[in-house]
Structure 1
């Protein structure tokens, strides 16, 4: 069994000179958490991936969501926080498998043991530096940009299963002011 579609997103905005401090969901300052703009994106992504329009939902709503857990290699909570509103919405309206058991550098096991065993649509929210290498672990993986730029939080990569591999496309989120419709070059 393999998923029919795998959707990749980068975690939402992190603390920095342009975005301010990181905060927990309750507003407590935390450098390993999303910036306020990141929380705004996380909330908008929930409805993006769980739209009211049933035809659109059939193409975007995941049956399984993966985000790296915290551990010795990374204390970052940003990927989990990015999908938290979506997972909460999905749990309220349907069943969803939510997995945070893998660390950010555990790509081979994530893809081989978990992602490829899922049916339907899978969403992976991960660190931008690692995202392109995750795709390399798929059998007959498509060519994708080698680098996800550090300033792009607004793009979605979609892999659709074909009889002989995967197709690759990019979809701009266009959820927040300043989001770009330009695909990631590569």
Structure 2
């Protein structure tokens, strides 16, 4: 499962970014982003439901590494409530350019995995997987969407992956269909 980080602060003013201590931090999530992070923890921890049959509780979590060039903490912030709830470690050892390493790690370890990644390189990551319906994958993550989960699933390790885009439907204003 692949998600973009929760909502970010405004470029020049509100909404402001805050860290987990409530302190101003332009590299962290906005209040709405933190609200989404909490709602995602509830959704993803419980796994499949009538509204979200393709969602499973992750056993591994990856998030984009914050670097001097890419200082965002938003990917880690977004999955932190879920990691706490499931007592999972967040692997943030890879930066957004390490798409090959990320994809190979997911393929090599078949357990359910959640990836919070930089949306600009998300399709580059998916391109590393054998996907049967590759034509269904958007060319880019929609710039204005924080409410999607891109799911890759397969019946067995010998099968290609199947791509599905899932609308979270967690917060007011989230789209319920694509």
TM-score, length of structure 1 as denominator length: 0.84
Distance 2:53 2:159 in 1: 26
Give the secondary structure class of the aligned counterpart of 1:130. helix
Deviation at 1:101, TM superposition (A): 0.3
Give the secondary structure class of the aligned counterpart of 2:165. strand
Matched, 1:78 2:69: no
Runs of 4+ aligned residues of structure 1 deviating over 6 Å after TM superposition are: 52-58
Stretches of structure 1 lacking an aligned partner (at least 5 in a row): 1-6
RMSD of aligned residue pairs (Cα, Å)? 2.4
Distance 1:35 1:119 in 2: 33
**C-alpha contact (below 8 Å) 1:157/1:170 kept by paired residues:** yes
Deviation at 1:72, TM superposition (A): 2.8
Matched, 1:154 2:120: no
**C-alpha contact (below 8 Å) 1:19/1:36 kept by paired residues:** no
Deviation at 1:141, TM superposition (A): 6.4
Deviation at 1:58, TM superposition (A): 9.6
Larger relative contact order (CA 8 Å, sep ≥ 6): 1
Q: Which has the higher strand share?
A: 1
Deviation at 1:52, TM superposition (A): 7.8
Stretches of structure 2 lacking an aligned partner (at least 5 in a row): none
Q: Deviations over 1:8-57 (max 9, x none)?
A: 11110001169611110111111100000000000000010012889989
Distance 2:91 2:14 in 1: 28
**C-alpha contact (below 8 Å) 1:45/1:86 kept by paired residues:** yes
Change (3 A) 1:130 1:53: closer
TM-score, length of structure 2 as denominator length: 0.87
